[in-house]
Amino acid sequence: MAIISTRSALDHELQTIRDNVLRLGSLVEEQTERAVRALKDRNIDLARQVVTVDERVNELRYKIEEECLTTIARHQPAAADLRLIVASMHMAVELERMADHAAGIGSVVIRMGHEPLLKPLIDIPRMQVTCCEMLHQAMEAYVKGDVALARAVVKRDEEVDQLYNQVLRELITYMIGDPRTTTRATYLLWVAHNLERTADRVTNLCERIQFAVTGQLGDLAPEEDEN
């Protein structure tokens, strides 16, 4: 029957979109991890790679958008199918911007050259680990359609915010104590800011997951968690 084969074609296209969003998610996770590793190891080559790979991220984002548009045009999906497609398009844009934050960290590392670090890195690697875990879980929530997990991920944004404020306070103390540290402090501040924005964007992903599953648009506030 025609409707069956059309439905299975739509299912196949939806699966391709899901797979590609997942691929984009892992790529962004990898880019964020490599960018902070380049900073820790002062590895300029690795930082350059992060900046170069960003092109691949952009290509994948546009590929996903094209797939979504084609599926809408071919199948005129409705309800949950339509929501999944629209959510995936938004998520592809968010993920691409998150990769820009990783590339931004890569650029800072390149700009820093071999200048010694102002202070040992403690909180920034923690921020990166939390961001990557959040992203990983958000992708899991996307694939499983798990709103409770998406909510739990949103909650973790506070951890990253606290670490960021800690880094900020510490670096300001350095700059006040010795204004000659301003440039080196700004480099780190820039890195921390990119990570803080990455975590914010993970919460945006979670809102889109909520929309895909329930149709509800808007904030996915942690206090809504009733578990």
Partner 1 sequence: MTKITASVKVPGPASATVPAGETASRGADSLSAKMHMDNLSVYYGGFRAVAEVTLPVYDRRITAIIGPSGCGKSTLLRSLNRMNELVPSARVEGHITLDGDDIYASNIDPVLVRRRVGMVFQKPNPFPKTIHENIAYGIKLYNGRMPRSELDDRVVSSLKRAALWDEVKDKLKQSAYALSGGQQQRLCIARTIAAEPEVVLMDEPCSALDPVATLKIEELMQELKQDYTIVIVTHNMQQAARVSDYTAMMMMRPDRAGEMIEFDDTQVIFTKPKDKRTEDYVSGRFG
Interacting residue ranges for partner 1, rule: CB under 8 A: 3, 6-7, 10, 76-83, 214-215
CB 17 within 8 A of CB 102: no
- Give the residue with the Cβ less far from partner 1, 102 or 213: 213
- Give the residue with the Cβ less far from partner 1, 32 or 88: 88
- Give the residue with the Cβ less far from partner 1, 77 or 106: 77
Residues 6+ apart with CB under 8 A from 80: 212, 213
Q: Write down the least CB distance from residue 72 to partner 1, Å.
A: 12
Q: What is the CA radius of gyration of the chain?
A: 20
Q: Write down the least CB distance from residue 218 to partner 1, Å.
A: 13
Q: Write down the least CB distance from residue 71 to partner 1, Å.
A: 12
H/E run at residue 131: helix 123-144
Q: Write down the least CB distance from residue 158 to partner 1, Å.
A: 30
CB 225 within 8 A of CB 151: yes
- Give the residue with the Cβ less far from partner 1, 81 or 170: 81
Distance in angstroms (rounded) separating the CA atoms of residues 42 and 80? 46
